[in-house]
Amino acid sequence: MELKWEEREWDEDEFPRGASPEKFFRDSKEFANLMMMYKCAIREVRTKLEVLDDEFSVRYKRNPISSIQTRVKKPISIFRKLKKYDLELTPENILKGLHDVAGVRVVCAFIDDIYMVAALLANQDDITVLQVKDYIKEPKANGYRSYHMIVEIPVFFSRGKTPMKVEIQIRTIAMDFWASLEHQLRYKKDIEDVEGHEEISGRLLECADTISDTDRKMQEIKQMIGEFNDLS
């Protein structure tokens, strides 16, 4: 299942050559090759996650990972982000200037699973962690919680090894539930244009806090039961 971020329609005036970003990327062998490379990088990360989950299934009789979703950023989103950074649309600028073209979202059962999965990935000798943003310990103003990592991983092609960047988002089922519904509500119509938008934002934040409290309680229950002594 692909990760999906809502995107507005693109404006022809903001894209060169009088063509859509999708057509430009599709007709360019360089960019088609680059998108293939990002898909391969995602496959490498996904395989690592699936191996860890399979190991836990056999050794500890449980699966810390509930689901894995992936996506490659849409051409229009790539173009807009380059434009935001005042960068030309070139493969080199995409590779060096953007860190989230390839995305993997990992949904876990418990909060401590998030940090365990992140640590197990970071400890692999072919993964380099470039950046971490912990929105669980420090949630965004709207209540969003998740653990974000930008990693670099080598991908081996016929012409040699290429380091590729992948953004990994790790969250609990509850965090994913809130984020998905908040996204639908917020992008169905611009909340800022709705009468009473402050109350709506406040209620969404209240829901996020309630869900976070539930996450913590489930974590405590897990520890009380004492059945999951992973890595012991």
DSSP-assigned states of every residue in 111-162: HHHHHHHHHHHHTSTT-EEEEEEETTTS--TT----EEEEEEEEEEETTEEE
**What are the two backbone dihedrals, phi and then psi, of residue 108, each rounded to the nearest 5 degrees?**
-110, 165
Give the residue with greater pLDDT, 32 vs 197. Answer: 32
Give residue limits of the domains in the chain. 12-173
Quick one: 16 exposed, middle or buried, by C-beta within 10 A (0-12, 13-18, 19+)? exposed
pLDDT band with cut points at 50, 70 and 90 for residue 69? very high
Taking only the tens place, the pLDDT of each residue in 120-149 is 999 999 999 999 999 999 999 999 999 999
The mean pLDDT of 46-75, rounded to a whole number, is 95
The candidate with the shortest Cα–Cα distance to 105, out of 208, 219, 183, 2, is 2
Cα 215 vs. chain centroid, distance in angstroms?
20
Long-range contacts of residues 156-164, Cβ cutoff 8 Å, at least 24 apart: 157/37, 157/40, 162/37, 163/128, 164/37, 164/38, 164/40, 164/41, 164/44, 164/102
Taking only the tens place, the pLDDT of each residue in 196-228 is 677 888 888 999 999 999 999 999 998 888 755
User: Tell me, what's the pLDDT at 2?
Assistant: 40
- What does the alpha-carbon distance between residue 211 and residue 93 come to, in Å, rounded to a whole number? 39
pLDDT at 170 over 50: yes
- What does the alpha-carbon distance between residue 147 and residue 134 come to, in Å, rounded to a whole number? 5
Can you tell me which residue has the tokens 């999965």? Answer: 117
Token pair of 228 as six digits: 């999951």
Contact 72, 39 (CB under 8 A): yes
Taking only the tens place, the pLDDT of each residue in 85-114 is 999 888 899 999 999 999 999 999 999 999
The candidate with the shortest Cα–Cα distance to 176, out of 206, 137, 215, 202, is 215
User: Tell me, what's the pLDDT at 106?
Assistant: 98
The model carries a pTM of 0.84
What is the residue-averaged pLDDT of the chain?
A: 86
- What does the alpha-carbon distance between residue 196 and residue 202 come to, in Å, rounded to a whole number? 10
Give the residue with greater pLDDT, 13 vs 57. Answer: 57
Contact 82, 117 (CB under 8 A): no
User: Tell me, what's the pLDDT at 116?
Assistant: 97
Homologous superfamily in CATH for domain 12-173 = Beta Polymerase, domain 2 (3.30.460.10)
